[in-house]
Amino acid sequence: MIVTSLKEIASSERDVDAGQWRSRRLVLAEDGAGFSLHDTLVRAGAQYTLHYTSHIEAVYCIEGEGELVDESTGHVHRLEPGSLYLLNDHDRHTLRAKTAMRTVCVFNPACTGQEVHDENGAYPAPE
C-alpha cells in the first residue's frame, strides 16, 4: 500500500515545474500501478501544443477555465470544472488556459517522473 499527499510531494523530485505548468506526480511507474497520476497546475494564459505519440492521457479539470483545440479538426472544446478529455488516439492538441487551471491527469504507460515535453510536445517513449 502506498499513501502520500501533495504536501509530501511539494518540492520533491516528483514536483516538476516547466514554466507554463507544474505537475505533482502522485503515482509513477516505479510504484507499479501501470499508470501515472498527476495533479497539474496550468498557469493563466498558458498555451501549448502537445502530441503524445507514446502515451494515452486522460485529463479531468477540477478548477479554472480553458479551451482544448483538436489540431486535426480545429474543433474547440470548452474546459471547466467537471470537464474531462481523453487523448485515446494520440491526438495532437492545443491547451489554452483562460484562468489558472488545476487538473488531474492519468498517463498510460506510466511516466517515470521527470518528463517534460520535447520539441514535438511529447513525453519520451518509455523504455
Give the domains, in start order, of the chain with CATH numbers: 14-99 (2.60.120.10)
What pTM, to 2 d.p., does this model score? 0.92
DSSP-H helix ranges across the chain: 6-9
- The tens digit of pLDDT for each residue in 64-90 reads 999 999 999 999 999 999 999 999 999
pLDDT value for 122: 76
Average pLDDT over residues 101-108: 97
Secondary structure element (H or E) that encloses residue 1, with its range = none
Nearest CA among 88, 53, 91 for reference residue 69:
91
